[in-house]
A and B are shown apart, each in its own frame.
Chain A
């Protein structure tokens, strides 16, 4: 046991980052699962990384908002492309997402042959380090997440269409840079997967509980066991997902007798 890492000032910003990521990813994850396109976050993250590398290839400064804008523009373009393919060939959407992922990933490698400094950004974008998050870094992401949540709420009827890909692309680009791809994937999929047994508000509440439980437990355990925080949280998220699933199943008898409105 290692008690020295267990300090609010060390784990607090990371926990806050997790909560901000969860705020948009829990509802988006249910969409992703319903559409059966679970690797879309990997594809969008890679496209965003490619955008950063292309921007640097054309001489853009490594620091500053230029890089963020390049990542967002690339992610939105990727989202638009996937909206188009979703409309034209919905039956091939998943394999097309996979192909986009490998093209973006290897495209980065080809461009990086002449720009090794981009590789640091690529790694930052993919691995992320939740413990390095600073509070001032969280402010713009919190504002963006709030705006995206508002859009998702107002336009919830139209979230099935092109709007989904745009919202998704922006949410992923911001969160991947904060916490990395592994955590983004887990935050999207695990709460949604754990709560397929429920619907409506009950499902949303259970999914948030799974997510928050996973992040808090993961950060505490990573401090106590002295293990990398990001990887630990992925495992505690999965653990909380199983617990949540069982809890829902045990309480399911009551819920089944009073059917909730079907609006997953």
Chain B
């Protein structure tokens, strides 16, 4: 009997500190990576989705509910990107800490989004009324979000607030230096034309000065018609297009088809952390994205 009590006590000692550690749940890998930059190994971080899946839709697994249930902070993109599953996940988890208030952090609330429609019209496709939610590829917006997230971590976990601010300062220095390097490197991309699969690259295009001349999905979420494809082939062929862009999770077939018709290379970009070998963190994500674009620009 004593032996069992001892084992139980030993288990409790092992389990207790883990259970008390501040726990964060990130909807997408880029926020998991940002949390790691700001908190290191001091908090436990669960990431709900991977770079190789379409975050508009996910499969429900029991562990997902369990992770949100024990989270102190949920970090998601917002702008309706996760509207198909996050509300249900939060509801099923029944965790008041993250259902609203400071424990519910939406990156889209910290920045202004692009492509916010002036009017809502269904005929325009699967438009997000709160603007385009794919802003993780804008390094400046990322920095704004990092500042807000560090402040939020400090608010929820005041004992380590100074540590979060210190790591934020360190991240800011490295990030701003990296932005300079990326911008210098990406200078030849300025003004180059691209065709995209889904309208998920507007922030990257705006930052690097790429010009988007067409999209395989003319209206987001709606498959293209044959007339649209015909005009897209002409446009792509005749405008000295740099590349056809798609994310790691997207079906390569439409892009490959257009590439074959036009001779313009199709490029698979990581899109978020984990999207390819080099994108192990946020820095790797931007390094890889820019290098892959430069590779076709030569």
Asked if A and B are interacting partners, one says yes
Would A116 and B125 be within 8 Å (CB), given that A9-B94, A10-B66, A131-B92 are in contact? yes
Would A11 and B125 be within 8 Å (CB), given that A113-B225, A134-B92 are in contact? no
A9 to B220 Cα, complex, angstroms: 37
| Chain A interface bracket (under 10, 10 to 19, 20 to 34, 35 or more) | 20 to 34
Residue A5 at the chain B interface, CB threshold 8 Å: yes
Q: Which stretch from A38-46, A73-81, A154-162, A221-229 is at the chain B interface?
A: A221-229
A112 to B217 Cα, complex, angstroms: 14
Decide if A134 touches B63 in the complex (CB within 8 Å): no
Decide if B66 touches A7 in the complex (CB within 8 Å): yes
Q: How far is the CB of B80 from chain A (nearest CB, A)?
A: 11
Report A98-127 residues with CB < 8 Å from chain B CB.
109, 112-117, 119-120, 123
Decide if B60 touches A130 in the complex (CB within 8 Å): yes
Decide if B222 touches A4 in the complex (CB within 8 Å): no
Chain A positions within 8 Å of B85 at CB level: 129, 132
Decide if B221 touches A119 in the complex (CB within 8 Å): yes
A114 to B222 Cα, complex, angstroms: 8
Q: Binding site of B, secondary structure by majority: helix, strand, loop or mixed?
A: loop
Residue A6 at the chain B interface, CB threshold 8 Å: yes
From A114, A119, A229, B62 is in contact (CB under 8 Å) with A229
From B88, B126, B225, A129 is in contact (CB under 8 Å) with B88
From A5, A116, A227, B221 is in contact (CB under 8 Å) with A116
Chain B positions within 8 Å of A223 at CB level: 62-63
A11 to B92 Cα, complex, angstroms: 10
Would A10 and B60 be within 8 Å (CB), given that A116-B125, A116-B220 are in contact? no
Chain A positions within 8 Å of B67 at CB level: 4
Chain B positions within 8 Å of A231 at CB level: 59
Residue B118 at the chain A interface, CB threshold 8 Å: no
From A6, A109, A116, A131, B61 is in contact (CB under 8 Å) with A131
Decide if A5 touches B65 in the complex (CB within 8 Å): yes
Decide if A132 touches B60 in the complex (CB within 8 Å): yes
Residue A2 at the chain B interface, CB threshold 8 Å: yes
Decide if B57 touches A113 in the complex (CB within 8 Å): no
Q: How far is the CB of B21 from chain A (nearest CB, A)?
A: 15
Decide if B123 touches A222 in the complex (CB within 8 Å): no
Report B177-230 residues with CB < 8 Å from chain A CB.
219-223, 225
Residue-by-residue, is A128-143 near B (CB-CB < 8 Å gives 1, otherwise 0)?
Answer: 0111101000000000
Chain A positions within 8 Å of B223 at CB level: 109, 113
Q: How far is the CB of A123 from chain B (nearest CB, A)?
A: 7
Chain A positions within 8 Å of B61 at CB level: 5, 131, 222, 226-229
Nearest neighbor of A226 in chain B, beta-carbon distance: B63
Report B52-85 residues with CB < 8 Å from chain A CB.
57, 59-63, 65-67, 69-70, 84-85
Decide if A116 touches B126 in the complex (CB within 8 Å): yes
Chain B positions within 8 Å of A130 at CB level: 60
Report B91-113 residues with CB < 8 Å from chain A CB.
91-92, 94
Chain A positions within 8 Å of B63 at CB level: 2, 4-5, 223, 226
A230 to B92 Cα, complex, angstroms: 16
Chain B positions within 8 Å of A131 at CB level: 60-62, 65, 92
Would A116 and B122 be within 8 Å (CB), given that A10-B65, A130-B60, A131-B60 are in contact? yes
From B60, B69, B91, B220, A229 is in contact (CB under 8 Å) with B60
Interface centre among B61, B91, B122, B221 (most CB of A within 10 A): B61
Decide if A114 touches B123 in the complex (CB within 8 Å): yes
Would A132 and B92 be within 8 Å (CB), given that A10-B66, A119-B221 are in contact? yes
Q: How far is the CB of B163 from chain A (nearest CB, A)?
A: 27
Nearest neighbor of B124 in chain A, beta-carbon distance: A116
Interface centre among B66, B69, B89 (most CB of A within 10 A): B66
Decide if A11 touches B122 in the complex (CB within 8 Å): no
From B60, B84, B222, A113 is in contact (CB under 8 Å) with B222
Decide if B65 touches A116 in the complex (CB within 8 Å): no
Nearest neighbor of A132 in chain B, beta-carbon distance: B88
Decide if A5 touches B62 in the complex (CB within 8 Å): yes
Q: How far is the CB of B112 from chain A (nearest CB, A)?
A: 25
Would A117 and B65 be within 8 Å (CB), given that A132-B92, A134-B92 are in contact? no
A201 to B137 Cα, complex, angstroms: 62
A231 to B60 Cα, complex, angstroms: 10
A114 to B218 Cα, complex, angstroms: 12
Chain A positions within 8 Å of B94 at CB level: 9
Decide if B66 touches A116 in the complex (CB within 8 Å): no
Chain B positions within 8 Å of A129 at CB level: 59-60, 85, 88
7 A–B contact pairs at CB < 8 A?
A: A5-B63, A10-B66, A113-B225, A114-B123, A116-B126, A130-B60, A231-B59
Nearest 5 CB-CB pairs, A to B?
A5-B62, A131-B60, A228-B59, A223-B62, A132-B88
- Tell me the A residues contacting B by CB distance below 8 Å: 2, 4-7, 9-11, 13, 109, 112-117, 119-120, 123, 129-132, 134, 219, 222-223, 226-231
Query: Given contacts A131-B62, A132-B60, could you give 4 more A-B pairs where the C-beta distance is less than 8 Å?
Result: A2-B63, A10-B66, A109-B223, A229-B61
- Tell me the B residues contacting A by CB distance below 8 Å: 57, 59-63, 65-67, 69-70, 84-85, 88-89, 91-92, 94, 122-123, 125-126, 219-223, 225
